Structure 1
Amino acid sequence: MFLFLVSYSLNCFVCDSKEDEHCPETWTRKDILPVECEGPDGVQNARFCIKTIAVFGGAVATKRFCTSRHMDNQCIEVKYPQDEKMYYSCTYTCSSDGCNRTYRLYLSRIIFLFFLSMQIFFSTF
């Protein structure tokens, strides 16, 4: 009798739009593949892929990464005491290979667009 141990590692897209112009909010590239989360430089016990979108000063930043924590699906407003501007952030959590390429829940996108329009509106005054 033989016993085989099979190990599975999640594959997520990993990028930061602040450092990589090929990491937009809407992912259209087909030549970049998700990376293995448990590699030598990866996250131990990674079970989730994350996509975050932040709006500050009218600019949009996107980050995709692997994590061992479920970070929920949420959009929040953040105000830092040292800054008068309001920041908006949306986080999407998923658990299948390459799932953080895009996000299919359109209600969250509507909420995000609302936050973006509010940021633009209030930055003009």
Structure 2
Amino acid sequence: MLIGSILVWVIKINFVSSLSCYQCNSSHHSNCLEHLVELGKHSLQPTPCTTYGARFCIKTTGIYGAVMGITRFCSAWDLGNECQYLDFPDHDRIYRACVSTCSTDAYFVSSLSCYQCNSSHHSNCLEHLVELGKHSLQPTPCTTYGARFCIKTTGIYGAVMGITRFCSAWDLGNECQYLDFPDHDRIYRACVSTCSTDACNSGIQNRTALFSIILSLYIFMCFYSMTNI
């Protein structure tokens, strides 16, 4: 009888995994963002998994109660890596719902360093980064599992034009789309840029490339004019 009681007591103990994951729900945690950023003492920290048999860290994005939300949790199951696009009849936009699975501690640090910021929280997260002395944004080592790319996005977030920079395990490509909102009198350009070298997502290289194109065109026009005199 005593042995049986001990067994029942042992079974009731929460199994503690050696795995640590970020665990949050954007409905309850304001810092549970799509891409985690450094917020000092308010930064989200990975915690040991208490889910029985936990072997995977999961991140999901989707629609919860008509609101776009993020969840991060531990799981005993591999939920895979995929995204689906959701179209709601009463909404004027298409949503992307994703699930991402990894099996290494959230403390994993990539050898890649990227600029990581969100213009909603960092006033120096500009379209093109500029030198602001001690207030300048600095690239930081990626902690995203399997990070191989630096990403920069521009788009509409909560009806406000914003910039995000982050690390990613996925190549999100390089493209821009023009967005037209019925209640706005202007058209917005939403872009994503992907690169794969340290600190390459500053945005400065785009301005440099544009300057080079303009300079080349100017030289060509001067040369063309001289040859036709």
Q: TM-score, normalised by structure 1?
A: 0.62
Task: For residue 45 of structure 1, report the CA deviation from its aligned partner.
Answer: 0.3
What are the equivalent positions in structure 2 for 1:80-99 lying under 5 Å apart? 84-85=183-184, 87-99=188-200
The equivalent of 1:12 in structure 2 is 114
1:45 matches 2:146: yes
2:8 alignment partner in structure 1: none
Indicate if the aligned counterparts of 2:153 and 2:192 stay in contact, CA closer than 8 A.
Answer: yes
Structure 1 partner of 2:58: none
Tell me the number of residue pairs that the alignment of Structure 1 and Structure 2 aligns. 94
SS at match of 1:93: strand
Identity %: 31
CA distance in structure 1 between the partners assigned to 2:177 and 2:183 by the alignment: 16
Q: Residue type matched to 2:111 in 1?
A: S
Q: Which amino acid aligns with 1:63?
A: T
User: Could you tell me which residue of structure 2 aligns to residue 34 of structure 1?
Assistant: 139
Contact 2:114 2:199 in 1 (8 A): yes
> Which structure's CA Rg is the greater one?
2
Task: Answer 1 or 2: higher relative contact order, Cα 8 Å, separation at least 6.
Answer: 1
The runs of 5 or more residues in structure 1 that have no matched partner are 1-6, 107-125
Q: CA deviation at 1:32?
A: 3.0
C-alpha RMSD of matched pairs (Å): 2.9
Which one-letter code corresponds to 1:71 in the other structure? Answer: L
Residue 116 of structure 2 aligns with an amino acid whose one-letter code is V
Structure 2: tracts of 5 or more residues without a match? 1-108, 211-229
Q: TM-score, normalised by structure 2?
A: 0.36
